Amino acid sequence: MLNSTLKQLSALLAQKKLSSVELTQSYLDRVARLNPGLNAFVTVDADRSLAQARAADAQIAAGKAQALTGIPVAHKDIFCAKGWRTTCGSKMLANFVSPYDAHVVERLNAAGAVILGKTNMDEFAMGSSSETCFWGPVKNPWDRTRVPGGSSGGSAAAVAARMAPVAIGTDTGGSIRQPAALSGICGLKPTYGVVSRYGMIAFASSLDQGGPLAKSAADLALMLNVMAGFDARDSTSLERPAEDYARALEAPPTGDRAKPLAGLRIGVPKEYFGEGLGSDVGAAVEAALAQFEKLGAQRVAISLPNSGLSVPAYYVIAPAEASSNLSRFDGVRYGYRAAEYSDLADMYRKSRAQGFGAEVKRRILIGTYVLSHGYYDAYYLKAQKIRRLIARDFVEAYQQCDLIMGPTSPNVAFALGAKASDPVQMYLNDIYTVAANLAGLPAMSIPCGFGEGNMPVGLHLTGNYFAEAKMLHAAHQYQLATDWHLRQPAGTE
């Protein structure tokens, strides 16, 4: 059961060989057993989860089951869920019980999925290691002395350790894909605007996008089917016809069955294989590319000349938006308020100084500075122009190829604490992932081997706008031919 796909679980539920209550309880038991060592979940509420499971069983009994009915899903603690404490990994929201549901949560609930619990994350999604959490760091299930990646590290660790069949996360600069890579699972960030941001606590509004984390591309597709969709409450939500991503996976290969990816042109940017890339990661990615060629894909050398500027531009734009987005946390209407203060300004300053952690404060300061008088043009405006150059690089590239592939992260998971005191080293972890957010493109990570310390390596795929189905199809075909995605960390049986 632990390595079953969502489709298999659904079938078991539909055939009544398993009830949602049994399935949910079995995962709750695993969380109770494994979580103390991994710290992937921050809130578990068995009563609520089981109540949802019972409702799902009733739906199944009534013959009203949908693709996710009865399936437990782990929610990153950034999604507001009515009645659930929603902390965003912060002391600021340690006692915040959401009075409403995010759009994604509404859709999952409506599809019959069960909220298994809320997962740990870098505070306000600011981090690449899940170490900046108010609730303590998340441990990597493959090696508990290492980080699981971040910011959706709790969701990634939960799926990797089989504490949840599937999870949801958010990705502002790689926060789904990088932890998926470092934890040996799959993660997808859709095209900006495909998943509503309503109820997803904002980090950087023009970059944030929700998406699924799962063991396989096929599971990602089923999740995306439910998560994607227009929402009138998000001005940036796109109105487009619904797509069945799962059906696209099954698309029968035309011609040679041994070469299901014939005709697919894979762009390999030379900039992603230069200085800074770990040789172990490089080797695993090369092997994966060779496998794709075996499946019929054609490898095309491309260039993304401005990719080196994506991290600098990202670390201007994301903190700038964040500094403003986080101004609402002022201790007036909800959230943390300092116990003692002398006046109004002091209440703001103390509440925010005590309620936010070091990394969040650092990014608020960066963002405040780059927007401040006299610096706006040199930093914020400049970054927005570079953003366009980066997006143009992709437009050029997609004239030559259909998907772009490379490493998700330059190295395998690093040791807990290794980069905690060096923000620049931490930020450089995002070097291959932030460009997709800046350009608004869909991207994903899938496991493609192991590197140093027998830690998982992720392969990064970037598609053109709305090319989720194409990406998922390619990833699924790769997973039919390989078994990296089926590996499970030792000690999580």
Hey, which residues between 194 and 233 contact another protein (CB under 8 A)?
197-202, 204-206, 232-233
Of the candidate residues 258, 365, 395, 486, the single one contacting another protein (CB under 8 A)? 365
Of 68-76, 153-161, 278-286, 382-390, which part binds another protein (CB under 8 A)? 382-390
Which lies closer to another protein via its Cβ, residue 103 or residue 476?
Answer: 103
* Least Cβ distance, residue 181 to another protein (angstroms): 22
Contacts of 260 (CB under 8 A, 6+ apart): 253, 295, 296, 477, 480
Among 344, 395, 486, 490, binds another protein (CB under 8 A): 344
| Minimal distance, residue 407 CB to another protein, in Å | 20
Q: Is 76 a catalytic residue?
A: yes
Residues 345-364 that bind another protein (CB under 8 A): 345-350, 352-353, 356, 361-362, 364
Q: How far apart are CA 307 and CA 125, in angstroms?
A: 23
Residue 234 CB, nearest approach to another protein (Å): 5
Would you call the peptide bond into 151 cis, given omega within 30 degrees of 0 as the criterion? Answer: yes
- 320 near another protein, judged by CB under 8 A: yes
416-439: b (≥16 Cβ within 10 Å) or e: bebbbeebeebbebbbbbbbbbbb
- Cβ distance to another protein smaller for residue 450 or 466: 466
Smallest gap from residue 56 Cβ to another protein (A): 25
End-to-end CA distance of the chain: give it in Å, rounded: 11
For the beta sheet containing 41-43, the strands, ordered from the edge strand earlier in sequence to the opposite edge, are 41-43, 114-119, 72-76, 166-171, 209-214, 186-189, 443-450, 456-463, 403-407, 265-269, 298-302
The reply on whether position 432 binds another protein by CB under 8 A is no
* CA atoms of 227 and 242, how far apart (whole Å): 11
Helix boundaries (H) for 111-176: 153-160
- CA-CA distance, 265 to 253, in Å (whole number)? 15
Distances (CA, A) of 34 to 39, 139, 187: 8, 11, 22
Closest to another protein by CB, 315 vs 478, is 315
Q: Give the binding range for another protein (CB under 8 A) out of 41-49, 257-265, 336-344, 402-410.
A: 336-344
Which CB sits closer to another protein, 8 or 327?
Answer: 327
One of 142, 245, 272, 380 touching another protein (CB under 8 A): 380
Which of 337, 452, 453, 488: binder of another protein (CB under 8 A)?
A: 337
Region binding another protein by CB under 8 A among candidate stretches 3-11, 242-250, 301-309, 446-454? 301-309
Q: If binding is defined by CB under 8 A, does position 80 make contact with another protein?
A: yes
Q: Which is nearer to another protein, 102 or 161 (CB)?
A: 102
Q: Which two tokens stand for residue 395?
A: 């437009």
Question: Is residue 94 at the binding interface for another protein, with CB under 8 A as the rule?
Answer: no
Pick the binder of another protein from 180, 309, 404, 472 (CB under 8 A): 309
Q: Which of 19, 20, 49, 76 is catalytic?
A: 76
Which residue among 33, 247, 270, 385 contacts another protein (CB under 8 A)?
A: 385
Catalytic residue among 20, 98, 151, 152: 151
- The half-sphere exposure of 63 on its side-chain side, counting CA atoms within 13 A, is 0
Q: How many C-alpha atoms does 385 have within 13 Å on its Cβ side? A: 7
Q: What is the CA radius of gyration of the chain?
A: 21
Closest distance to another protein from the beta carbon of 43 (Å)? 15
CA atoms within 13 A on the CB side of 153: 38
Range list of H helices, 68-135: 103-110
Site for another protein in 226-265 (CB under 8 A): 232-236, 238-239
For residue 106, which amino acid is it? E
Distance CA 223, CA 165 (A): 11
**Residues 156 to 175: which contact another protein by CB under 8 A?**
none
Residue of 175, 237, 323, 351 marked active site:
175
Tell me whether residue 135 or residue 427 sits nearer to another protein (CB atom).
427
Tokens of 114: 């069960």
Asked if residue 463 lies in contact with residue 443, where contact means CB atoms within 8 angstroms, the answer is yes
Under the binding rule (CB under 8 A), the answer on residue 323 touching another protein is yes
**Can residue 270 be called a binding residue for another protein (CB under 8 A)?**
no
Site for another protein in 411-430 (CB under 8 A): 423-424, 427-428
Per the annotation, the verdict on 189 as an active-site residue is no
Catalytic residue set = 76, 151, 175
